[in-house]
Structure 1
C-alpha cells in the first residue's frame, strides 16, 4: 500500500487504531472535521481514482458494521454478511466495481473497533450460523502492515462457534496470521484468475503462484481455505488457462481443507465501461458478448455463461468431487444446466454453504 496523502478524522485522533496507523506510516497528516475535505481533495485531482488509491482517510464507521450482502431478488444470493471495515482498495483491477460504486472513491479505514466488536458479539448470539466477510468493499488483507485488525477479528471469532470469518484477498500479506489462535473459525480466501488476466487486468496484485503458495502456508497453520473465480473473463484460449489454474490449486493445497469454491462471470454496471476505457486503454474485457441482465448489469449471454460454468465445475469435480462449488448471482436455469440441480433441492444456497462451514469449521446452530 502506497500512501501519499493522509487524512485523519479529528474525532478519532486518539483512538488506539489511529495511533497505531500514524506510528507505522510515520508521515505528515491533515486532521479534518468532516469527510467533505477529503472528497474535495480527490475530486479536484486530474485522475481521482488513482489519487484515491494513494489517499488514506482514517475515520469511523457511522453506520452498521454488520450488513447483509446486497444481492438481488433476480438471482440466487449466498446469504453472506458483510463486515464493513473500510472502503476501496490500493490494488488496481480493471474490472473492479468499486471504481464506479463509490462517488468519489475513498480509501478509508474505520477505527472505531469497540463498536465493531460489540456488533460481532451480538451476531454470535444468533441462533443460526452466520458467514461473515470483510472483502466486499475492500480487500481483507491490504491493511495488515498498518493495523492489527486481523489479529483482533481472528481471535474474537475463535472464541465462539456460531459464525465463521472469511478474509478474502489478492495479496500474500499473511505473515501476521501465523501463530494466531483461530480454532478454524477463520477461512483464508483468495480470488483467482488466469495468469493472463492477472498480468493484464490486475495491477499491483500478487501472482497466481504467489497466492497459491500463501494458501499452502495458511493450510499448514491450520486455517480452512476457500477460492473465488470472480470474475471469470471469456477470451480466446481462456478454457485451457482456467483448467490449468484449477489443476494448480490442488497441487498446492488439499481438497479436504477447501470449504467452498465460487464461480461468477464478469458482470458490470454500464458506467464502469467508460472507466475501464479511460484507465485501462488496452483492456478488451468490456467488449465481449454482453446483454443487460435482470439486475441492470451487463452480463455475458447466458449460453456463454452456462458453457464455461459447466466446464469449470467438471474440472473441479474431476479432482475434488466433494468440494462445494457454487455460483455467485446466477438463476435456477444456470444451476440446473450446469450442475443438474437447483439450490432449493438442498434447502437453498445459504443452507448449503452453512453446512459446509459447519463441517470444515466446527460451527453449530442452537
Structure 2
C-alpha cells in the first residue's frame, strides 16, 4: 500500500471576490484552517516576500483565487531547442514539495501556492478544446505545479479524469513526485489519463528533492496505477551528472522495467539539469548541501546554464541504450534539446514544425486508445 506524501499547510487565504464560490467553501471545509479574506492580494504578496525565506513561507500558505487568464496555454518552449507542443492546463501554481533545482521558486513572484476555483471557466475551455478538429491534444497539469499535491483538498482530479474519459481526441497527463493516488482507484478513465512520475537516482532525491516520495514509493504507486488500467509515462529530468551517476541511473532503469510493462508506457523523456543564472545563488542559500550548480556548465542558446554538450550526450547515449535494451518500442524523447544532441543520441532529428509533437501524438494514439 502506498502512503500519501506529507503536506504542511499553515495559513489559508481566500480572495474576497470568490469567497462564496462552491469550490471555495468545499476546499475550506476540507483544509480545516481559518480562512483569511483578501481584498487586495498585494498585501499578501508583500507578506510572503518579507520572509527571510519567501520560498519556504510560500509553500506553507495557500491562496484560493480565480484564474483571470486562460487555463490552457502552450508550453513555453524556445525556438533554439526542439519542443513537444504540449498544452499546459494551468489549474494551480507552485508546490508544497521543495526541490533545489525547481524553476518555480524563481519563476513566480512571489512564490505562493495558488489554486484556481473558477472551474466553470475551465470547463468551457475544455469543451472548446474537445470540439476542435485537431487530431490529438496532449494536455498536462504538471508544468506550474505538481499534479497530485492537491488531492487532500479538492476533487479536481476526479473531475478532470471524467472529462477526458468522455472524449477520444485528447489525453491528460498527471505528472507527480508524490504517491497521492488513492482517489484514482475506481475512476472510469478509459485510458485517457496518463499517470506520470519524475524519476531520479536515490542520491539526487536525498539531497535535492525535499518532501518528495522515495524512488521505491513512486514505482509502487506507478505499478498500482498500472493495475487500475492507467497508461503511464516517466521523466528522467533533470538528470544530474556526478561521480558514478551512470551506475545509479542504470539501476533506476532496471528497477523501472522490473515493475512496469513496456507496452503500457506512453513515453519517457530525458533532460539534464539546466538553470537560469539567477537560480544559482538561491540554490546555494536554500540547499547548502547541494553541489549541483558546480558542474561543468556553459550558457545555452536559451541563456540557461547547461552541462557541456559532450557530457550531456555521453549520459544520454547510455540512458537511451539501457532503455532501448529493456523496451525497444517505447517512445523516447528529449525535453528541450538541440538537433545535434538528437542526431548523436537517437540517430535522427524530429522534423521541424511539430515533428516531435506528431511523434508523441502517435504514441498517445497507440497506447491510450485515442481516435486519430
TM over 0.5: yes
Aligned match of 1:107 in 113, 122, 125?
113
State the match for 2:63 in structure 1: 57
Aligned match of 1:275 in 255, 274, 282?
282
Would you say 1:340 and 2:347 are equivalent positions? yes
Distance 1:103 1:345, change over 3 A: closer
Q: Which secondary structure does the structure 1 equivalent of 2:351 belong to?
A: helix
State the match for 1:353 in structure 2: 360
- The structural deviation recorded for 1:346 is 11
- The structural deviation recorded for 1:347 is 6.8
Segments of 5+ residues of structure 2 without an aligned counterpart are 1-6
Q: Which secondary structure does the structure 2 equivalent of 1:343 belong to?
A: coil
Equivalent runs, 1:82-161 vs 2, <5 Å: 82-128=88-134, 129-161=136-168
Q: Which secondary structure does the structure 2 equivalent of 1:140 belong to?
A: coil
Would you say 1:328 and 2:300 are equivalent positions? no
| Contact 1:38–1:57 (8 Å) recurs in 2 | no
- The structural deviation recorded for 1:34 is 2.4
C-alpha distance in 2 between matches for 1:246 and 1:320 = 10
Q: Which secondary structure does the structure 1 equivalent of 2:27 belong to?
A: helix
| Contact 2:84–2:354 (8 Å) recurs in 1 | no
| Contact 2:85–2:354 (8 Å) recurs in 1 | no
Say what the alpha-carbon RMSD is for the aligned residues. 1.1
Q: Which secondary structure does the structure 2 equivalent of 1:198 belong to?
A: helix
Aligned match of 1:208 in 212, 215, 225?
215
Aligned match of 2:302 in 276, 286, 295?
295
C-alpha distance in 2 between matches for 1:40 and 1:121 = 37
Deviations 1:93-142 (A, max 9, x none): 00000011111111100010110011011111122211000000000000
- The structural deviation recorded for 1:345 is 8.9
State the match for 1:310 in structure 2: 317
Deviations 1:188-247 (A, max 9, x none): 000000001111110000000000000000000000000001100000010000000011
- The structural deviation recorded for 1:37 is 2.1
| Contact 1:89–1:139 (8 Å) recurs in 2 | yes
Aligned match of 2:271 in 256, 264, 277?
264
State the match for 1:182 in structure 2: 189
Distance 1:295 1:7, change over 3 A: same
Deviations 1:142-187 (A, max 9, x none): 0000000000000000000111000000000000000111000000
C-alpha distance in 2 between matches for 1:293 and 1:261 = 23
C-alpha distance in 2 between matches for 1:326 and 1:98 = 23
C-alpha distance in 2 between matches for 1:231 and 1:64 = 28
State the match for 1:18 in structure 2: 24
Q: Give TM-score, length-normalised by structure 1.
A: 0.98
C-alpha distance in 2 between matches for 1:119 and 1:11 = 21
- The structural deviation recorded for 1:319 is 0.6
C-alpha distance in 1 between matches for 2:274 and 2:257 = 27
Distance 1:347 1:120, change over 3 A: closer
Q: Which secondary structure does the structure 2 equivalent of 1:256 belong to?
A: helix
State the match for 2:13 in structure 1: 7
Deviations 1:346-366 (A, max 9, x none): 97100000000000112224x
State the match for 1:37 in structure 2: 43
Segments of 5+ residues of structure 1 without an aligned counterpart are none
The ranges of structure 1 where at least 4 consecutive aligned residues each deviate by more than 3 angstroms after the TM superposition are none
